[in-house]
């Protein structure tokens, strides 16, 4: 009876995931939902085997990297099958253990930024997901990239979740990346590294519509381009800004909340960031002479009907230096690893 109830719950859960934005087809979810081995694996556990292949940024094997992790065998999270070892000459390490849910791991080595990973066996699309008491696929190879520490520098780094109250609407506002503030008279900022304009309609808690226009049009050649974070690594962005990239000068983000409906948002996502170019100078012929570069992490989002949030920002204060590797981030990572 317990298994039948669990299957019914599983069917409902996967069916709810087959709407817009689902990564798999309805047929795949249907097969997963009716896979009894999935429920048996969750209740009784099964053996898991993972081959971790550790490589550097150039895809070369990393020998003697340290692997630390655990399989989750149940008991309300109070018991774990610990994993502790180093990679061989091929950069490989084999982890095995019983699990009812997942395998989490972290990979470290001197001279590299740490990387982490999480294998969720219950979310696997394999059917059956448990065969002969083993989670499928059994013994698959997972490549782990360890980004090297190259040339960290002292950059201007703002790393805290800060909410900004919108000082005025329907007006272009300068925002200073170096000081992390609106430009005077609305804050202590000095340089308008970017222009922001906010629009608010129906400012109630249950029904409001916000819009933020982002513009770099106040400077020639200024702008930003979108990137995906390397969330597996302690160093999540690129090492250098690409001076030949296409820097877009305008972005628009919005948040719409409707009564009794799910809100609709368009924002810089949690897994995204912008590489920006600002404080530009040109010669008499309009050619770019100087610029400063940096990154801004998502989620760049709205806070209620009257606020904005920027969680993380880096600015290289040296003109024409494209380096985006911050030494303070490295120091923080080292402190956490002690």
Q: Is residue 334 over pLDDT 80?
A: no
Q: Is residue 9 over pLDDT 60?
A: no
Does residue 189 share a domain with residue 269?
A: yes
Mean pLDDT, rounded, of the chain: 87
Residue 150 lies in a domain: no
Tokens of 191: 């340089």
Residue 200 lies in a domain: yes
* Cβ neighbour number for residue 216 with a 10 Å cutoff: 23
User: In the predicted model, what is the mean pLDDT of residues 154-159?
Assistant: 91
pLDDT band at residue 77, thresholds of 50, 70 and 90?
A: low
Tokens of 118: 């999480």
Residue 305 lies in a domain: yes
pLDDT over 90 percentage in the chain: 68
pTM of the model: 0.84
Residue 51 lies in a domain: yes
Question: What does the DSSP 8-state code read for residue 147?
Answer: P
Tokens of 113: 């930024």
Does residue 83 share a domain with residue 52?
A: yes
Does residue 284 share a domain with residue 261?
A: yes
Q: Which domain holds residue 73?
A: 44-145
Does residue 262 share a domain with residue 160?
A: yes
pLDDT digits (tens, 9 = 90+) for 208-248: 899 999 999 999 999 999 999 999 999 999 999 999 999 99
pLDDT digits (tens, 9 = 90+) for 235-287: 999 999 999 999 999 999 999 988 888 989 999 999 999 999 999 999 999 99
Helices vs. strands in the chain: H and E counts, helices first: 4, 21
Does residue 173 share a domain with residue 271?
A: yes
Residue 240 lies in a domain: yes
Residue 60 lies in a domain: yes
Nearest to 48 by CA among 122, 124, 178, 137: 137
**What's the CATH code of the domain at 86?**
2.60.40.1120
Residue 166 lies in a domain: yes
Does residue 181 share a domain with residue 312?
A: yes
Nearest to 187 by CA among 218, 155, 221, 162: 162
Helix 36-44 and helix 2-15, axial crossing angle in degrees, nearest 10: 120
Domains in the chain: how many in total? 3
Does residue 48 share a domain with residue 128?
A: yes
* Cβ neighbour number for residue 10 with a 10 Å cutoff: 19
Chosen domain end from 145, 179, 198? 145
Does residue 259 share a domain with residue 330?
A: yes
Does residue 184 share a domain with residue 89?
A: no
Does residue 30 share a domain with residue 48?
A: no
Tokens of 167: 């000082």
Chosen domain end from 145, 168, 197? 145
Residue 29 lies in a domain: yes
Chosen domain end from 102, 119, 145? 145
């Amino acid at each position: 009876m317990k298994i039948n109830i669990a299957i019914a719950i599983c069917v409902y859960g996967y069916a709810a995931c087959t709407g817009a934005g689902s990564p798999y087809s309805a047929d795949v979810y249907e097969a997963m939902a009716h896979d009894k081995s999935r429920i048996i694996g969750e209740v009784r556990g099964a053996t898991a085997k993972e081959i971790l292949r550790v490589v550097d940024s150039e895809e070369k094997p990393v020998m003697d990297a340290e692997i630390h992790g655990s399989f989750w065998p149940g008991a309300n999270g109070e018991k774990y099958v610990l994993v502790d070892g180093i990679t061989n000459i091929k950069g490989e390490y084999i982890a095995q253990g019983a699990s009812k849910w997942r395998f989490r791991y972290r990979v470290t080595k001197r001279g590299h930024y740490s990387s982490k990973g999480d294998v969720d066996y219950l979310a696997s699309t394999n059917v059956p997901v448990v065969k002969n008491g083993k989670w499928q696929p059994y013994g698959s190879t997972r490549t782990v990239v360890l980004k090297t520490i190259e040339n960290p520098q002292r950059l201007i780094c703002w790393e805290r979740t800060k909410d900004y109250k919108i000082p005025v609407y329907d007006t272009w506002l300068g925002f200073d990346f170096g000081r992390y503030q609106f430009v005077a008279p609305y804050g202590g900022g000095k340089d308008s590294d970017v222009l922001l304009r906010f629009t608010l309609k129906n400012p109630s808690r249950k029904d409001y519509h916000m819009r933020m226009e982002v513009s770099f049009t106040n400077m020639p050649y200024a702008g930003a381009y979108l990137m995906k974070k390397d969330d597996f690594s302690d160093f999540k962005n690129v090492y250098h800004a690409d001076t030949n990239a296409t820097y877009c000068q305008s972005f628009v983000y919005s948040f719409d909340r409707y009564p009794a409906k799910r809100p609709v948002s368009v924002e810089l996502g949690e897994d995204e960031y912008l590489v920006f170019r600002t404080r530009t100078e040109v010669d008499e012929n309009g050619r770019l002479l100087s610029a400063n570069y940096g990154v801004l992490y998502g989620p760049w989002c709205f806070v209620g009907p009257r606020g904005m949030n920027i969680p993380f920002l880096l600015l290289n204060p040296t003109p024409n230096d494209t380096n985006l590797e911050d030494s303070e981030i490295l120091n923080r990572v080292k402190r956490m690893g002690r």
